[in-house]
Amino acid sequence: MITHYGSMERAWAEIDLHKLEENVKTIQNLLPKKCKFMAVVKANAYGHGDVETAAFLNKIGVEAFAVATLEEGIHLRKCGIQGEILILGYTHAGRARELSQEELIQTVVDREHGEALNKMGFPVKVHIKVDTGMHRLGESYWDSKGIGKLFLLKNLMIQGIYTHLCVADSKEEEDVAFTKRQIQHFYETLREIEKKGYPLPLVHIQSSYGVLNYPELQCDYARIGIALYGVYSKEEEVKTPIELKPIMAIRSRVALVRKIKKGESVSYGRNFTAKRDTKVAVLPIGYADGLPRNMSGGQVLIDGKKAPIIGRICMDQLMVDVTDIPDVQKDSVATLIGKDGKEERRAEEVAANAGTITNELLSRLSTRIHRIYVDS
C-alpha cells in the first residue's frame, strides 16, 4: 500500500519503511546485546521525514532517538513520539523549562553550559559530552575534575556520558591510531569519574562508522544515523561491511521533450553543446529541491536506461540527453536516486559525483519534494 502525502506529478521521494526495519535489524546484529539502538533522526531524519520515520521506529520497538536541536525534539514530542529523545546540539539554558516539560534529554556541551542549565531551577535530564579530539562540543577529556563537578549540580539528572569520533570512517593508519586514542582518553576519563565516587551513567561513543569500523566497543547506546537510512556516507569499504538497503528513491516526471540540432547549447552559461542532433528531456526538479548544483555531469535513469545530465542544473529544472532512449515522452518517470528496472543510481554515487557525502545530499533534500511512504 502506498500512502500519498502529496502527488507524483512533479518530483517526489518514495520511502520504503520496511527496508528501514531491515536496516535496524542488520545493524542491531552488529551491536552487543546490552547496547541500545539510538536512531538519529535530526535534520528531518536525513530528509526522510522525522515524524514518519520516528513513529515507524517506535512501532517496531526503537525507544531511543537523537536530534540536533530543541525544536526538532519538541516537534517529535508534539507528534506523539515515545521514548528517549537526546538533543545532540547546544540548547540555550534559557530554555531549560521546555527541556524539562517535554522530557527531552539535553547534551551538556561544556561545564559552563551545565552550570547555566542547573541555575534555571528546572530538573533537566542530560548526557555529558566529552571532547576527546574533535574539538567541537564537549568538556575536555583531561578535565575530569571539572566533569566531576557537574555531578554535584542538583538540577542535572545525569543519565549518560558520551564522546564523538571524528575519523572513525577512515582506515588510514594514522586515523585509526587517532580514533583509538580518542577511545582510550574517554575510558580514562570515565575511570577518573568513578574514582571520585560518582556513579557512572550510560556510556556511548559510536555513530554509524563507529559501529562499522569499531564494532567491538561495548557501549550502552550506538547513535545510528546514515546507516539507518540504508546508505554509506561514501563508496569506500568499511571493516564490517553489511548489506544496507536504501530506503529512499527520488523521482521526477518529464515535463517535455524537445529536439535540438548539433551545435546548439543547453541551459545557463551554455556550457553544454550538442555533438549530434539531440533529444532533450526537461525534468522539473532542480537545486531548490535539494539536488546539488554541481551534480551537473551526472546521470538519471529513464525506462531503465542511463540518461546523462546536460548543461547546468537550474533552481527548478534540469535537462537530460535521451537521444538513445526511444520512448521517452512527457510524463515519463525519471529516477535520480534509486532503482529503475535493472539499473540503480545509489546515493553514494550521486554524492561522490557532486563532491559530497550522502549525509549532506539526503539531509538537504527540500520539503518541496513530496514524501510518499510505503509501509505495508
Ligand X SMILES: *Cc1c(COP(=O)(O)O)cnc(C)c1O
Catalytic positions: 42, 268
Select 42 or 312, whichever has its Cβ closest to ligand X.
42
CA distance 57 to 52: 9
Among left, alpha and beta (phi > 0; psi -120 to 50; other), residue 261 is: beta
CA distance 287 to 291: 4
Select 225 or 298, whichever has its Cβ closest to ligand X.
225
Q: Is 225 in the site for ligand X (CB under 6 A)?
A: yes
Q: How far is the CB of 58 from ligand X (least distance, A)?
A: 19
Q: How far is the CB of 264 from ligand X (least distance, A)?
A: 43
Number of residues located near ligand X, criterion CB under 6 A: 13
Q: Is 323 in the site for ligand X (CB under 6 A)?
A: no
Q: Is 204 in the site for ligand X (CB under 6 A)?
A: no
Select 323 or 359, whichever has its Cβ closest to ligand X.
359
Instruction: List own/partner pairs for 327-331 with CB under 8 A and 24 or more apart.
Output: 327/303, 328/254, 328/257, 328/279, 328/281, 328/302, 328/303, 329/254, 329/257, 330/253, 330/254, 330/255, 330/256, 330/257, 331/253, 331/254
Q: Which range in 57-65, 73-81, 149-157, 217-225 contacts ligand X by CB under 6 A?
A: 217-225
Beta bridge partners of 139: 130
Q: Is 223 in the site for ligand X (CB under 6 A)?
A: yes
Q: Is 207 in the site for ligand X (CB under 6 A)?
A: yes
Radius of gyration of the chain (CA): 23
Residue 296: count other Cβ atoms within 10 Å of its Cβ.
Answer: 23
CA distance 230 to 19: 8
Q: Is 40 in the site for ligand X (CB under 6 A)?
A: yes
Q: Is 332 in the site for ligand X (CB under 6 A)?
A: no
CA distance 142 to 131: 9
Select 81 or 320, whichever has its Cβ closest to ligand X.
81
Q: Is 359 in the site for ligand X (CB under 6 A)?
A: yes
Q: How far is the CB of 83 from ligand X (least distance, A)?
A: 17
Q: State the DSSP code for 97.
A: H
State which of residues 226, 238, 249, 266 lies at the interface with ligand X (CB under 6 A).
226
Residues 6+ apart with CB under 8 A from 142: 185, 189
Q: Is 203 in the site for ligand X (CB under 6 A)?
A: no
Q: How many CA atoms lie within 13 A of 24 on its CB side?
A: 22
Q: How far is the CB of 226 from ligand X (least distance, A)?
A: 4
Select 10 or 129, whichever has its Cβ closest to ligand X.
129
Q: Is 91 in the site for ligand X (CB under 6 A)?
A: no
Q: How far is the CB of 304 from ligand X (least distance, A)?
A: 31
Q: State the DSSP code for 4.
A: -
Q: How far is the CB of 109 from ligand X (least distance, A)?
A: 11
Measured in whole angstroms, how far is the alpha carbon of residue 188 from the centre of its chain? 30
Q: Is 182 in the site for ligand X (CB under 6 A)?
A: no
> Which residue in this structure is represented by grid cell 527520488?
250
> Which residue in this structure is represented by grid cell 554535584?
152
Over the window 149 to 168, marking each residue x when it contacts ligand X by CB under 6 A and - when it does not, the resulting string is ---------------x----
Q: How far is the CB of 300 from ligand X (least distance, A)?
A: 26
Select 43 or 147, whichever has its Cβ closest to ligand X.
43
Give Dmax over CA atoms of the chain in angstroms: 79
Q: Is 88 in the site for ligand X (CB under 6 A)?
A: yes
Q: Which residues bind ligand X (CB under 6 A)?
A: 40, 42, 88, 164, 207-209, 223-227, 359
